[in-house]
Every structure is written in structure tokens, then in C-alpha cells.
Amino acid sequence: METENNNIYGVLAEFRNPKELVDAAASVKKSGYKDFDTYAPFPVHGMEEAMGLKESPLGWIVLGGAITGMVGILALMIWVMGYEYPMNISGKPYINLPIYVPITFEITVLFSAFAAVFGMFFLNNLPRFNNPLFNVERFEKASDDGFFVCVEASDDLFAEEKVAKLFQDNGATHIETIYDSE
């Protein structure tokens, strides 16, 4: 298949087991590559450290959603019940905070859930309708018994031969250059 060099998506390597995958990821990170990812059929202990991943900001996004929901619903209820449409119910005060607790809790949880879902979509660059790795027949093993590392061509240090040599030195069983179909 004759393709131009600028259509390269990356270099994909397959490894025999999770230990080799973690070692290869650590080696790729140590070599200075930043745009790479690993694929395994289950979570692999130590992979985050080997890849040098930072803690996810998703927790802060969820906290922001929770605070937004809580403050927003409290402000709405206080404004409506205390100022815009006050109702005298059994002589109780117009602004009665204990009766706002269940609704405040529910809206806080709802906004947290929405923040988690949409934050996850944003942080994972979703939706992505096509990934060139899905066109690789061997990559189907990633959901069963395959362990893969892919260094993407978008990395500043990317050089096809150097990446292939790095994978070969780390004991890859199969190395393949992936071309972007777009």
C-alpha cells in the first residue's frame, strides 16, 4: 500500500504480557515521547506511573458542577419563596432553610452527574467517530488478550524508524506502521 509519509497515524507494537507492556510504556516515556497510549484488555497495575500520567482534573470538574447546582438551586428557592412569591405556610418564615435540604441535595447530585459525564467526554476528546487503530486487524486482540503501545505521529520526536527500533529493543512481538485513512 503506497501512502505518503504525512498520512502516518503512528507506530503500533504488540507485547506478550502486561509486564512487557508496562516496561515498554516506561521506556517510551523515558525516551521523551508524549503522544502515546497503551491498550490492554484489563487495567494494568503501574501503567499510570509508567506512562507518567497526571491526576485527572475530572474530580474538580465534578466539584464545580456540585457547587454550581447547590448554589443555583438555593438561590432560586430563596428568591422564589422569600421574595418573588412568598407564601405564609402555617406561620413559618418565608425563607426556611431546612425544607430546602432534600431538593438541594438532589440537584447537587444531578449537576455532579452531568459534570462527570460531560467532563469525561471533554477530557477524552469524544466523540471521535474514527480511530485508525480500528482498521488494524491485530488490534482486535486489545479487548481479549493483546497488549499494545502506539506512539502517534503527532509527537514532536516522532520518527518511524526510531520508534520501531525502540519497540524492537523492548521485545515487541509485532510492529506495524498505522496510516490515517482520512
CATH for 19: 3.30.70.920
67 and 115 share one domain: yes
**For the chain, how many residues are written?**
182
Indicate left, alpha or beta for 106 from its phi (over 0: left) and psi (-120 to 50: alpha).
Answer: alpha
Task: Please indicate, yes or no, whether residues 119 and 155 belong to a single structural domain of this protein.
Answer: no
152 forms beta bridges with 10
Same domain flag for 69 and 24 = no
In a domain, 62, yes or no: yes
Q: Is the domain of 28 the same as that of 62? A: no
Say if residue 32 is in the same domain as residue 63.
no
Mapped onto helix, strand or coil, the DSSP state of residue 10 is strand
CA distances (Å), origin 16, targets 39, 132, 143, 171, 178: 12, 22, 14, 9, 20
Q: Is residue 70 part of a domain?
A: yes
Domain assignment of residue 93, yes or no: yes
Q: Is residue 162 part of a domain?
A: yes
Look at the chain and report how many structural domains it folds into. 2
Let me know whether 68 and 95 are in one domain: yes
Q: Give start and end residues of each alpha helix (H) in 12-159.
A: 18-30, 47-51, 58-79, 101-123
Closest CA to 149 of 1, 3, 44, 7: 44
Q: Which residue has the higher pLDDT, 103 or 5?
A: 103
Distance CA 85, CA 73 (A): 16
Distance CA 77, CA 79 (A): 5
**Do 64 and 118 belong together in one domain?**
yes
In a domain, 138, yes or no: no
Residue range 38-93, pLDDT digits in tens: 999 999 999 999 999 999 999 999 999 999 999 999 999 999 999 999 988 888 88
Phi, psi of 56 (to 5 degrees): -70, 140
Residue 119 is part of which domain span? 58-123
Same domain, yes or no, for 35 and 63? no
Q: Is 104 inside a domain boundary? A: yes
- Give φ, ψ of 151 to 5 degrees: -95, 120
Q: Full-prediction pTM beyond 0.85?
A: no
pLDDT-derived band at 130, boundaries 50, 70, 90? confident
Asked whether residue 53 is domain-assigned, the answer is: no
| For the chain, percent of residues with pLDDT exceeding 90 | 81
Residue 7 has pLDDT above 50, yes or no: yes
Do 25 and 68 fall within a single domain? no
Residue 153 lies inside a defined structural domain of this protein: yes
Burial of 59 (0-12, 13-18, 19+ CB in 10 A): exposed
